[in-house]
Amino acid sequence: MLAKLQTLEQNSLVQISVLTSEASLIDLRNAILGKNGSLTELLKGVKDLSDEDKKTIGKAINECKIRMTAAFEAQLAVIKNRLIADRLANEFEDVTTPVSEDTGNHLHPITRTLMKVEDSFKRMGFDCYESNEVTTEYWNFDSLNIPKTHPARDMQDTFWLEGTGNVLATQTSSMQNIIMKSKGAPIKAIISGRVFRNEDIDATHENTFYQVEGMVIDRDITLANLKYTLRTMLSDIFGREVSIRMRPGYFPFVEPGVEVDFSCPFCSGTGCKICKKSGWIEFMGAGLIHPNVLREWGIDPDEYTGFAFGFGLNRLVMIEYSIPDMRYFQNPNLAFLKQF
């Protein structure tokens, strides 16, 4: 019986060592150590032996069982490790390998410039959000200090969605209230997205265009913070230092309100075609957030102040690439798009 046991162990160890799949290993284990396995059968025969043999052979079988169990475990570990190594070798993707062929695809200039704008603001600690395209009359107007009868409503030719009180957002400022209510002060946020106005379309007007809104609320915020922020972003975009100029402007949700111009990055202020010989490019609306608006958000204007600004992204791209006509952006004209 001992000889039988020895042969069984030797054969089994060889068989175990050549198996490469978990399933076949389990099958073999059952065939040897299972209820009716060959080793179990040997063990069953022990009861018919003499007391003397029972001791020695029973012990030998049990020791063999321990060694076989260990051999199964060890081979299982080998199989599993090999599986992991194979997966690592086959599924490995070197993400640093340069893309070898030009796919011909590229981002729309609006997207490209928006990414640059957001990168610049992110470096200054802003969080970026997308604006809603359909919004409510309250968010688009009332919450921004523009009640129903306010003449400022006429400044934006609005697409009203009949019977719902909803509108197509005419300005990304419509998101100020939403972001503020969910995040609370202090805050540094950039909100970008499509806005819609019932405009007659020409080279400088579209009914659908992109805006970028900024808002900062914290203690002791002044126009100096606004000026620094805009100068940093615009200098990043044009790759050279630009200066900022502010003129008084009227927007119901800021006080004081300003119109912001920046020095022409193409002629450095000496006057060229792009800045219409003035040295300055008129660019955006901004100001310190009106106390009424802060109150509407539940913020105490004696504790916090803030600035906000909003500009047309299409216009920034037009200036950046000297694009003469705003209609190109909405037009699937490949000759235009392929230039970027």
Using CB under 6 A as the criterion, which residues of the chain lie in contact with ligand DAH when the complex forms? 171, 173, 213, 251, 254, 285-287, 308-310
| Shortest Å, Cβ 178 to ligand DAH | 14
Of the pair 72, 196, the CB lying nearest ligand DAH is at 196
| Shortest Å, Cβ 257 to ligand DAH | 6
Output the CA–CA distances (angstroms, integers) from residue 94 to 81, 86, 90, 102, 105, in the order listed: 22, 16, 11, 18, 22
Non-local (6+) Cβ contacts of 233 within 8 A are 117, 120, 121, 124
DSSP assignment letter at 236: H
Strands (E), the chain: 127-130, 134-136, 160-161, 166-168, 187-196, 208-218, 244-248, 254-263, 280-289, 305-312
- 228: Cα separation from own chain's centroid: 27
Of the pair 169, 275, the CB lying nearest ligand DAH is at 169
| Shortest Å, Cβ 254 to ligand DAH | 4
| Shortest Å, Cβ 290 to ligand DAH | 9
Of the pair 109, 306, the CB lying nearest ligand DAH is at 306
| Shortest Å, Cβ 190 to ligand DAH | 11
Of 137, 127, 128, 213, nearest in space to 169 by CA: 137
| Shortest Å, Cβ 303 to ligand DAH | 20
Instruction: State the DSSP string of 302-327.
Output: TT-EEEEEEEEHHHHHHHHHT---GG
State the Cα–Cα distance between residues 77 and 93, nearest whole angstrom. 26
| Shortest Å, Cβ 318 to ligand DAH | 17
Of the pair 12, 177, the CB lying nearest ligand DAH is at 177
Nearest 5°: the CA angle 170, 138, 216 is 70
Of the pair 72, 283, the CB lying nearest ligand DAH is at 283
Output the CA–CA distances (angstroms, integers) from residue 83 to 80, 290, 295, in the order listed: 5, 64, 63
| Shortest Å, Cβ 245 to ligand DAH | 16
Instruction: State the DSSP string of 97-131.
Output: SPP-S--S----HHHHHHHHHHHHHHHTT-EEEEP
Of the pair 272, 282, the CB lying nearest ligand DAH is at 282
Of the pair 249, 271, the CB lying nearest ligand DAH is at 249
CA atoms within 13 A on the CB side of 12: 26
Of the pair 25, 288, the CB lying nearest ligand DAH is at 288
